[in-house]
């Protein structure tokens, strides 16, 4: 399915190409759609007061995330190598320094850190496939679901075992290099996920506090919007779109020259946003109807969803199917989290793909135990943002990814010559190109800088100064 040469110009590649535009869209969609939409969006929205947060999140997705995603694909395709080497090469060609490879390197590190906790939560999803299949959700009430979550997170052995299983599966797929085959399965997964979410929406509309849920998500109350929430909304936009760490760049390196980057990025961003919003609409009516705490954090969906499945017709069947699909969505995201590191190792150290995947996977697996223990043995050991997991999540989503994104916009908008981006985006130099260019040169970098300044309290100070 993968060709080695597209014969369409552009730099010659060190590796194969996606067989079609669709294969690439599916790969990036598989990367973007995952726990970020189903698990993280509802819980972060819950912790940050809903409506106003969601509004900022949407602004960040379309105003900052979309242009950065296009920039990342553009850089990957122009460099045609792993993100570290692509950025070194382009940096040298366009800006005279190879130091831009730092973008790639920070992405490799971010991928390690993110996957280490991502795998732990994905492990819970896998545990829930079996719990649902065993009928554990049947007739559940609020107290029962809380016990259900506690019995899982309270045991480091159980959480650790599921984490091990998930990492094993990820390494297996990446090592065998069959991930391209999985993209075909995304064609089924994403629509199936949407169908079950719509089904769940039906349940939330009839049995939940639907109006309250809608109000919570879409009625902005700006008094609830702290500087920290704005940063969280921006971080979530980066996390959910898989941008700022070279993952989309790594995939862009396999993209044939003639594929339209703007159209591709736009469809991925829309699908991702739709799934996140749908997930929020499913969760909150159930949370409010059952007196659950919207600020419950990472446990939120693991409490709310069993209530829906446990009390709807054929809930055991749909619940099992749903968690299987989410598990699969998490797997396609996990694969993409490893891609920059694996591609980099293979291209730089002449190791085989299999060996690189196993070694990288092992390091991430060990690191993951910090997050496994965050819920039990080390749950009282908190610093800075909270537990180890909270800190890893905060550091990566709210700091590393936006910083990576900032550097990408600076490179694409200010360092790279205009002709290069005109040629890669291939939409002429008309309005669409201009819009991208303004967003990339001014809007996105400024937004990131302002949100950072705001978060550390310097923005107010600066405003007062003028
Ligand atoms: N976007 C993925 C999700 O929403 C997570 C991810 C982040 C994947 C960064 C790759 C890079 O689940």
User: Which residue CA neighbors atom 4 of ligand 1 most closely?
Assistant: 36
Q: Tens of pLDDT along 219-240? A: 999 999 999 999 999 999 999 9
User: Which residue CA neighbors atom 10 of ligand 1 most closely?
Assistant: 242
Give me ligand 1 centre to Cα 95, in Å.
Answer: 30
Best of 333, 343, 402 for a ligand 1 pocket test (most atoms within 8 Å of beta carbon): 333
Give me ligand 1 centre to Cα 307, in Å.
Answer: 27
Give me ligand 1 centre to Cα 237, in Å.
Answer: 10
Please check whether residue 375 is in contact with residue 151, taking contact to mean a CB–CB distance below 8 angstroms. no
Give me ligand 1 centre to Cα 336, in Å.
Answer: 8
Give the pLDDT score at 23: 80
Give the pLDDT score at 452: 95
Closest atom of ligand 1 relative to the 241 alpha carbon = 1
User: Which residue CA neighbors atom 6 of ligand 1 most closely?
Assistant: 242
Give the pLDDT score at 14: 62
Query: Residue 263 CB: number of other CB atoms within 10 A?
Result: 13
Give me ligand 1 centre to Cα 437, in Å.
Answer: 25
Give the pLDDT score at 8: 47
User: Which residue CA neighbors atom 7 of ligand 1 most closely?
Assistant: 242
Closest atom of ligand 1 relative to the 32 alpha carbon = 1
Give the pLDDT score at 51: 96
- For residue 275, which phi and psi values (nearest 5 degrees)? -70, -40
How far is residue 160's CA from residue 250's CA, in Å, rounded to a whole number? 30
Please check whether residue 332 is in contact with residue 182, taking contact to mean a CB–CB distance below 8 angstroms. yes
Give the pLDDT score at 22: 80
User: Which residue CA neighbors atom 9 of ligand 1 most closely?
Assistant: 242
Best of 31, 39, 250 for a ligand 1 pocket test (most atoms within 8 Å of beta carbon): 31
CA neighbor of 152 nearest in space, from 121, 113, 115? 121
The beta strands (E) that lie in 155-295 are given as none
Give the pLDDT score at 115: 98
Give me ligand 1 centre to Cα 106, in Å.
Answer: 15
Q: Tens of pLDDT along 381-408? A: 999 999 999 999 999 999 999 999 999 9
Give me ligand 1 centre to Cα 393, in Å.
Answer: 12
Give me ligand 1 centre to Cα 455, in Å.
Answer: 23
Give me ligand 1 centre to Cα 195, in Å.
Answer: 22
CA neighbor of 80 nearest in space, from 286, 256, 298? 256
Give me ligand 1 centre to Cα 316, in Å.
Answer: 28
Closest atom of ligand 1 relative to the 34 alpha carbon = 12
- Ligand 1: lining residues by beta carbon, under 6 Å: 31-32, 34-37, 114, 239-240, 242, 245, 247, 333, 336-337
Per-residue pLDDT of the chain (466 residues), as tens digits, is 334 444 445 676 666 677 777 888 888 999 999 999 999 999 999 999 999 999 999 999 999 999 999 999 999 999 999 999 999 999 999 988 999 999 999 999 999 999 999 999 999 999 999 999 999 999 999 999 999 999 999 999 999 999 999 999 999 999 887 666 677 778 888 889 999 999 999 999 999 999 999 999 999 999 999 999 999 999 999 999 999 999 999 999 988 888 889 999 999 999 999 999 999 999 999 999 999 999 999 999 999 999 999 999 999 999 999 999 999 999 999 999 998 999 999 999 989 999 999 999 999 999 999 999 999 999 999 999 999 999 999 999 999 999 999 999 999 999 999 999 999 998 888 899 999 999 999 999 999 999 999 999 898 898 998 8
What residue ranges define each of the domains in the chain, with the CATH number in brackets? 21-465 (1.20.1740)
Give the pLDDT score at 13: 65
How far is residue 357's CA from residue 167's CA, in Å, rounded to a whole number? 11
Give the pLDDT score at 307: 95
CA neighbor of 413 nearest in space, from 77, 86, 94? 94
Give the pLDDT score at 11: 74
Closest atom of ligand 1 relative to the 401 alpha carbon = 9
Instruction: Write b or e for each residue in 315-352: b if 16 or more Cβ atoms lie within 10 A of its Cβ, otherwise e.
Output: bbebbbbbbbbbbbbbbbbbbbbbbbbbbbbbbeeeee
């Amino acid at each position: 399915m993968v060709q080695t040469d597209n014969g369409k110009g552009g730099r010659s590649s060190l590796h194969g190409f996606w067989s079609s535009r669709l294969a690439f869209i599916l790969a990036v969609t598989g990367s973007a759609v995952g726990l970020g939409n189903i698990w993280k969006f509802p819980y972060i929205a819950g912790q940050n007061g809903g409506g106003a947060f969601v509004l900022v999140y949407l602004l960040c997705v379309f105003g900052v995330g979309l242009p950065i995603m296009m920039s990342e694909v553009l850089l990957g395709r122009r460099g045609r190598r792993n993100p570290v080497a692509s950025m070194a090469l382009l940096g040298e060609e366009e800006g005279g320094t190879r130091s831009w490879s730092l973008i790639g390197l920070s992405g490799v590190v971010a991928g390690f850190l993110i996957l280490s906790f991502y795998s732990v939560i994905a492990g819970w999803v896998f545990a829930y496939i079996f719990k649902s299949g065993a009928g554990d959700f049947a007739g559940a009430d609020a107290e029962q679901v809380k016990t259900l979550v506690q019995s899982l997170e309270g045991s480091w052995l159980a959480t650790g075992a599921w984490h091990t299983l998930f990492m094993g599966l990820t390494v297996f797929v990446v090592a065998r290099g069959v991930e391209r085959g999985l993209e075909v399965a995304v064609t089924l997964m994403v629509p199936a996920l949407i169908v079950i979410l719509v089904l769940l929406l039906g349940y939330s509309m009839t049995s939940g506090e639907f109006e309250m849920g809608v109000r919570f998500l879409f009625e902005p109350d700006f008094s609830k919007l702290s500087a920290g929430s704005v940063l969280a909304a921006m971080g979530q936009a980066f996390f959910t779109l898989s941008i700022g760490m070279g993952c989309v760049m790594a995939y862009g390196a396999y993209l044939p020259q003639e594929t339209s980057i703007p159209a591709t990025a736009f469809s991925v961003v829309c699908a991702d946003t739709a799934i996140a919003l749908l997930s929020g609409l499913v969760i909150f009516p159930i949370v409010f109807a059952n007196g659950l705490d919207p600020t419950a954090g990472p446990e939120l969906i693991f409490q709310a969803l069993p209530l829906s499945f446990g009390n709807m017709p054929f809930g055991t069947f749909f619940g099992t199917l749903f968690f299987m699909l989410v598990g699969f969505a998490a797997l396609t995201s996990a694969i993409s989290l490893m891609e920059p590191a694996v591609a980099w190792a293979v291209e730089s150290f002449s190791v085989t793909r299999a060996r690189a995947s196993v070694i990288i996977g092992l390091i991430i697996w060990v690191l993951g135990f910090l997050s496994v223990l965050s819920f039990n043995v080390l749950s009282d050991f908190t610093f800075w943002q909270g537990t180890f997991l909270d800190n890893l999540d905060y550091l990566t989503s709210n700091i590393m990814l936006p910083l990576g994104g900032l550097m990408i916009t600076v490179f694409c908008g200010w360092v790279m010559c205009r002709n290069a981006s005109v040629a890669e985006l291939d939409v002429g130099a008309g309005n669409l190109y201009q819009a991208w260019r303004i967003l990339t040169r001014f809007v996105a970098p400024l937004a990131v800088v302002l949100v950072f300044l705001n978060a550390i309290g310097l923005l107010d100070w600066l405003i007062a100064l003028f």
